[in-house]
Structure 1
Amino acid sequence: MTISDALHRLLLDNLTTATILLDAELRLEYMNPAAEMLLAISGQRSHGQFISELFTESTEALNSLRQAVEQAHPFTKREAMLTALTGQTLTVDYAVTPILSNGDTMLLLLEVHPRDRLLRITKEEAQLSKQETSKMLVRGLAHEIKNPLGGIRGAAQLLARELPEESLRDYTNVIIEEADRLRNLVDRMLGSNKLPSLAMCNIHEVLERVSQLVEAESQGCITLVRDYDPSIPDVLIDREQMIQAVLNIVRNAMQAISSQNELRLGRISLRTRAMRQFTIGHVRHRLVTKIEIIDNGPGIPADLQETIFFPMVSGRPDGTGLGLAITQNIISQHQGLIECDSHPGHTTFSIFLPLEQGATST
């Protein structure tokens, strides 16, 4: 290898853009570390493999690559959906450039730009903005409610002391009890101001505790499936708060299933996976843990999916709409992210928690 070749290889290896080089038969010649990270495969082990053994797209895309080789015609594709060998679906933009090597050998250079991260950041920023707006509204509303409630309660107490008959105090007791109930409701809407008490904990201990509680509440009627990745290291969390966050989601799933079918037909899966180079907000984390709570309930109505984390938003007539708002607040305090994907028969809540302290701003 010449000095020039070594320099070119060094530059490619250090590019943040995923770069893949294919031969005329669409077999892998080279991929840089950014491409290895994106597709979660080894370039050295995959050398010589056909492109569909690296990732899959449509038959039309494969034909376009063959035409690029035959006609030496470059092209670009936007928001293509690639399925990696891990089963993960990636949204990417990619550019294909035919290159003549040694005068007569045709190669294809693929420059792949992942869109998932940008789309997720945009969606998350909008979600966080809505969350902050909601918090400000709730705080303002809470202030306007709690002040007169205190006056009403105090006046009822004073009135009770002046009433001549004990039986008449039943009415003032109702006023006092209802004022206390409204104050507690407002406090729950505001969420806890207590900072999480962080300690290293195995996330599977949290999920097992939730499983025990759910099995006790359902009397073993619902099917719980564990799908854990035992290689996930301990994570820095408040154990009790995280139990509450996951339990809120699982209880919602149970209630959704029981409203549609018998509970014994329900199935809730708890799954954990480690993910590399994942962005939460503007911070890129080297490693995060992904917790998925998956149920086979009726799904969340489409008109509620954008607002389910807002206080007082619920899909059930008897729901308070506070469980998911509290869960999101807990996850946010842990510098994490929660997402939801739902359609009839399948709802997935995904929680992402950083597994390391060092992170890179993007």
Structure 2
Amino acid sequence: MKLPVLNRVQPAGILDGLTTAIITLDSALRVTYLNSATETLFSVSRRHVQGLALSVAVPHLVEQLPRLKRAIETGTGFIERELKLRRPGDDAGHDCLTVDCTATPAQFSGPSLVLEILPLDRHLRISRDEQLLAQHRASRELIRGLAHEIKNPLGGIRGAAQLLEREFPDSEHLEYTRVIIREADRLQNLVNRLLGPNRLPQKEMVNIHEVLEHVRQLIEAEGRALLSVQRDYDPSIPELRIDREQLIQATLNLARNALQALIAASPRPDRPLITLRTRMRRQFTIGGVRHRLAVQIDVEDNGGGVAPAMIEKIFYPMVTTRAEGTGLGLPIAQYLINSHGGLIECQSRPGITIFSIYLPLELPA
């Protein structure tokens, strides 16, 4: 029986087909090879970085250099799970990657090291997004149930107070019936706010930077010169098909939240600052759905940060750290962005809090 002849496949071709980033280094930690997944992950070109020191070729790995050098010298590899890689100078973590990293000593034309870097951000994001969406759905269902149970007796109470007012218009107790009516109306408004907008998004082509400039002007007016608002916009972002008013409301809720965080911060930063930032994201996952293009809008402040115990709860209704807060701003913002197929996420540590809006970019057919 004659066996079929298989085409010879070059090792480099096999490595280029992997989704794991592969980098080989010589004894001086110079790059001797990297595959296509590495180019995509770190936004580098093998043609430009081959032969360069790893610290120059892939700056994200600078902090790992001492450990990599020991691995070559001792011939002992290592595995690091959920390793955070940051580009030098990126203290805010805007360009942070979470990876599993495996270093394996090898012998090619001398002592060498093979790095296998598996990006985890997409898997972690899917898990986090699913948790946020489940949280959002659970809170929405709870609110709808409560609204139904509250609205019916509330209408009866208000109606009874109106009847008393009509039956006894000159009664000395008239002010009490008016208090009942006024408080019933206040509760009705609260329930309506919990339920969010009662209309579907009215989508149109919108320049998001025009929206952010509108929000900036409002926040600067409310801040009364107590803070600075910095802009960091990506001019390449095209117009989005969204509901302009709903995007303004969602972004303004986040910006007001940042303003209140700065006012309440103890100690207050020397230079209270809110940053509005936009970026284009490619091949980005939102709520388990992969989008070819997405837009990221960041609202960042340099206040005291959100307590770790609160991070998982802040998108629930009525959850707030401020005595005068209603706990509705963030849930409403999340609802508005969800209705556009997007999501809001939060990351925080002392001195920096970033709320990120992610919206899929619908390209015209």
Distance, in Å, in 2 between the alignment partners of 1:264 and 1:170 is: 50
Cα deviation 1:244-302 (Å, max 9, x = unaligned): 11111111222232234789953211112223332222122233222211112233334
Cα deviation 1:128-179 (Å, max 9, x = unaligned): 2222222222111111111100111111122222115165433222211211
Read off the aligned partner of 1:329 and give its amino acid letter: Y
Distance, in Å, in 2 between the alignment partners of 1:211 and 1:166 is: 51
1:135-150 to 2 correspondence within 5 Å? 135-150=140-155
| Contact 2:269/2:303 (<8 A) preserved | no
Aligned-pair CA distance for 1:26: 2.1
Other-structure match for 2:4: none
- Is 1:256 aligned with 2:280? no
Cα deviation 1:221-256 (Å, max 9, x = unaligned): 421111112122222321111111111111122223
Other-structure match for 1:8: 11
Distance, in Å, in 2 between the alignment partners of 1:185 and 1:287 is: 37
- Is 1:319 aligned with 2:322? no
Cα deviation 1:18-43 (Å, max 9, x = unaligned): 22232333222222222111112222
Other-structure match for 1:32: 35
Read off the aligned partner of 1:199 and give its amino acid letter: E
Read off the aligned partner of 1:89 and give its amino acid letter: C
Cα gap change, 1:279 to 1:293, in 2 (>3 Å)? same
Distance, in Å, in 2 between the alignment partners of 1:80 and 1:262 is: 32
Distance, in Å, in 2 between the alignment partners of 1:109 and 1:141 is: 58
- Is 1:17 aligned with 2:20? yes
2:79 corresponds to which of 56, 76, 80: 76
Three-state SS of the structure 1 residue aligned to 2:48 is coil
Identity %: 51
| Contact 1:221/1:264 (<8 A) preserved | no
Three-state SS of the structure 2 residue aligned to 1:4 is coil
2:175 corresponds to which of 170, 174, 188: 170
- Is 1:271 aligned with 2:288? no
2:311 corresponds to which of 288, 305, 311: 305
Three-state SS of the structure 2 residue aligned to 1:350 is strand
Read off the aligned partner of 2:232 and give its amino acid letter: D
Other-structure match for 2:3: none
Read off the aligned partner of 2:343 and give its amino acid letter: L
Cα gap change, 1:284 to 1:211, in 2 (>3 Å)? same
| Contact 2:82/2:99 (<8 A) preserved | yes
Read off the aligned partner of 1:169 and give its amino acid letter: L
Cα gap change, 1:86 to 1:297, in 2 (>3 Å)? closer
Other-structure match for 1:350: 356
| Contact 2:268/2:303 (<8 A) preserved | no
Three-state SS of the structure 1 residue aligned to 2:128 is helix
Three-state SS of the structure 2 residue aligned to 1:186 is helix
Aligned-pair CA distance for 1:305: 2.3
Read off the aligned partner of 1:29 and give its amino acid letter: T
Three-state SS of the structure 1 residue aligned to 2:47 is coil
- Is 1:116 aligned with 2:121? yes
Q: Does 200-209 or 296-305 show the bigger shift? A: 296-305
Cα gap change, 1:84 to 1:254, in 2 (>3 Å)? closer
2:59 corresponds to which of 52, 55, 62: 55
Read off the aligned partner of 2:247 and give its amino acid letter: M
Other-structure match for 1:97: 104
Distance, in Å, in 2 between the alignment partners of 1:145 and 1:201 is: 38
Aligned-pair CA distance for 1:63: 4.1
Three-state SS of the structure 2 residue aligned to 1:45 is helix
Distance, in Å, in 1 between the alignment partners of 2:205 and 2:29 is: 47
Other-structure match for 1:291: 297
Q: CA RMSD in A?
A: 2.6
Aligned-pair CA distance for 1:107: 4.1
Cα gap change, 1:51 to 1:303, in 2 (>3 Å)? same
1:124-139 to 2 correspondence within 5 Å? 124-139=129-144
Distance, in Å, in 1 between the alignment partners of 2:350 and 2:69 is: 39
Q: Which runs of 5+ in 2 are unaligned?
A: 1-6
Other-structure match for 1:151: 156
Other-structure match for 1:245: 250
Cα deviation 1:172-226 (Å, max 9, x = unaligned): 2221121111011011111123221222322211110101112233344421111
Cα gap change, 1:306 to 1:247, in 2 (>3 Å)? same
Aligned-pair CA distance for 1:58: 6.6
Aligned-pair CA distance for 1:121: 2.1
Distance, in Å, in 1 between the alignment partners of 2:223 and 2:320 is: 22
Other-structure match for 2:193: 188
> Would you say how many aligned residue pairs link Structure 1 and Structure 2?
352
| Contact 1:55/1:82 (<8 A) preserved | no
Distance, in Å, in 2 between the alignment partners of 1:223 and 1:144 is: 45
Cα gap change, 1:146 to 1:222, in 2 (>3 Å)? same
Three-state SS of the structure 2 residue aligned to 1:44 is helix
- Is 1:205 aligned with 2:210? yes
| Contact 1:300/1:315 (<8 A) preserved | no
Aligned-pair CA distance for 1:311: 0.7
Aligned-pair CA distance for 1:322: 0.5
Cα gap change, 1:38 to 1:147, in 2 (>3 Å)? same
Distance, in Å, in 1 between the alignment partners of 2:312 and 2:16 is: 40
Distance, in Å, in 2 between the alignment partners of 1:287 and 1:267 is: 29
When the two structures are superposed, what TM-score results if normalisation uses the length of structure 2? 0.87
Read off the aligned partner of 2:29 and give its amino acid letter: L
Aligned-pair CA distance for 1:350: 1.5
Distance, in Å, in 2 between the alignment partners of 1:263 and 1:173 is: 46
Aligned-pair CA distance for 1:312: 0.8
